[in-house]
Amino acid sequence: MEDRKIAWKEAGWVFALSRLIILLISVFSVAFFPQSGQVAPVNCSTSINPCLGAWYHLDAIAYVNIAHHGYTFNPDTAFFPFWPLLEHFGGLLLGGSFPNAYYIAGVLLANICFYFALVLLYNLLAQDFEASIARRALFFLSFYPYALFFFAGYTESLFLLLTLALFLALRRGRALDWWLAGLFGLLASATRSTGLILAIPFLVVYIQRFWTPAQRSSHSWGEKINALLPIVLIPLGLVAYMLFLKITKGNALIFVAQESNYGWHRHLSFPWVGIAAAIGNLFKGGVSGAAYLQNAVDLTFTLFPLAVLVIGWRRMPLHYALFAAGVAFFTLSFPQQIEPLTSQPRYMLILFPMMAMLALWSKRERFYQWALVFVSLSLFTINIVLFISHYWVA
């Protein structure tokens, strides 16, 4: 019980500090930086809506449209349903009739989910590593350069929460916990297609718990079957969405077609193709300065998590390492045609094993201060300003 109280406390003050910093940066950005395409900052004294809607941008708009109107716009089918469903009910609780209800609901829900994710992350890492590592990992996650998406009305907070809930259920490993893990996986695959990867840590922990030489004879067949069956729940979130699309749109795979043809131009490929194309773009002539910089940043924050995971994989539990590898390979297998690694730094954000490794290495106080304060926090601030100003971040 005391450990749980510590988790709530540690998560609480890191959460409060990070939200305070985000809000201060947001106010500063709105006051002093014009939005993309504008020549002067917004004057909140004359028009409150642009200031209130500072985080109403890109994918957040799509989720609000779905929450408010459903999948009336076919390209919106690229966005999976569980998050906008929560946003829909949240918007109804806030009134639902005024334009900002669903947007505000999305921001509130994202932050609530993130707080609970911090609590679960502390609990998980304190058990698998130690309390000091769990504490530092909360900082690395909260102030990672792309952690602004845990504040915006995006799916990152919810997906991370469901992922950590599954890992904790697997760690506890009681009869009902396997079914809870399957349920969390189902909801994750209804949130993002990446949720399918959660079958990997489920299967790894199952084998370790029931089929290693030391454990094989310690459990009955009933226990083994009860623990394995819930793995079939994990893909059911995606299956249910495809069934919904088949009934309403006449095409269960319309979301794949939209990813390929509308705006995103994503296509299935080998995981290294996008990285190779991004490296090639660094040496290609005729590329604008902004496009060159964006490509370089995307490449950097794709390779950095991969390097951390490759260097640190021996220090983490096997199901952590294989989960991280699965997510990385899955997301890298769908590069964009024009800007190969677009959004990839954001997709890597949910790799909590990377945060665990950074926290493990940061036992050296100088590394911790330098990495967290001078690098991560600086880039975190820049990305918030860019996002608030309606520039592309990830």
The per-residue DSSP string of 50-115 comes to HHHTTT--THHHHHHHHHHH-S-SGGGGGS-SHHHHHHHHHHHHTTSSSTTHHHHHHHHHHHHHHH
Alpha carbons 224 and 60: distance in angstroms, whole number: 42
Per-residue pLDDT at 277: 94
Give pLDDT tens digits for 272-303. Answer: 999 999 999 888 876 777 888 999 999 999 99
Per-residue pLDDT at 301: 96
Alpha carbons 169 and 181: distance in angstroms, whole number: 6
- What is the mean predicted confidence (pLDDT) over 38-63? 78
In the chain, alpha helices (H): 2-32, 48-52, 59-69, 82-93, 101-128, 131-142, 156-172, 175-189, 199-210, 221-228, 236-249, 254-261, 271-282, 289-312, 318-332, 344-347, 352-361, 365-369, 377-388
User: Which residues contact residue 339 at a Cβ distance below 8 angstroms, ignoring those fewer than 6 apart?
Assistant: 291, 294, 295, 298
Alpha carbons 253 and 265: distance in angstroms, whole number: 15
Position 22 confidence tier, pLDDT thresholds 50, 70, 90: very high
**Cα angle 115-117-121, degrees, rounded to a multiple of 5:** 120
Q: Is 98 exposed, middle or buried (0-12, 13-18, 19+ CB in 10 A)?
A: exposed
Of the candidates 15, 46, 251, 8, the one whose C-alpha atom is nearest the C-alpha of residue 147 is 15
Per-residue pLDDT at 49: 67
Q: 266 has which bridge partners?
A: 336
The pTM is what?
Answer: 0.95
Per-residue pLDDT at 35: 76
Give pLDDT tens digits for 132-165. Answer: 999 999 999 999 999 999 999 999 999 999 999 9
- Examine the pLDDT at 366 and tell me if it is beyond 70: no
Position 334 confidence tier, pLDDT thresholds 50, 70, 90: very high
Higher per-residue confidence, 370 vs 393: 393
**Cα angle 185-190-193, degrees, rounded to a multiple of 5:** 85
Per-residue pLDDT at 37: 67
- What is the mean predicted confidence (pLDDT) over 206-217? 87
Q: Which two tokens stand for residue 375?
A: 């690098």
Per-residue pLDDT at 337: 82
Residue carrying structure tokens 């045609």: 337
- Examine the pLDDT at 47 and tell me if it is beyond 90: no
Residue 375 is inside which H or E element, if any? Answer: none
What percentage of residues in the chain have a pLDDT greater than 90?
73
Inter-residue long-range contacts of 123-130, CB under 8 Å, 24+ positions, other chains counted = 123/3, 123/4, 123/7, 123/168, 124/164, 124/167, 124/168, 124/171, 124/352, 125/356, 125/359, 126/3, 126/6, 126/7, 127/171, 128/171, 128/317, 128/320, 128/356, 129/356, 129/359, 129/360
Per-residue pLDDT at 243: 98
Per-residue pLDDT at 115: 98
- Examine the pLDDT at 362 and tell me if it is beyond 90: no
Torsion sign over Cα 338, 383, 313, 204: negative
- What is the mean predicted confidence (pLDDT) over 233-257? 96
Per-residue pLDDT at 118: 98
- What is the mean predicted confidence (pLDDT) over 177-202? 98
Task: For the chain, give the mean pLDDT.
Answer: 91
Greatest mean pLDDT among 25-34, 216-225, 324-333: 324-333
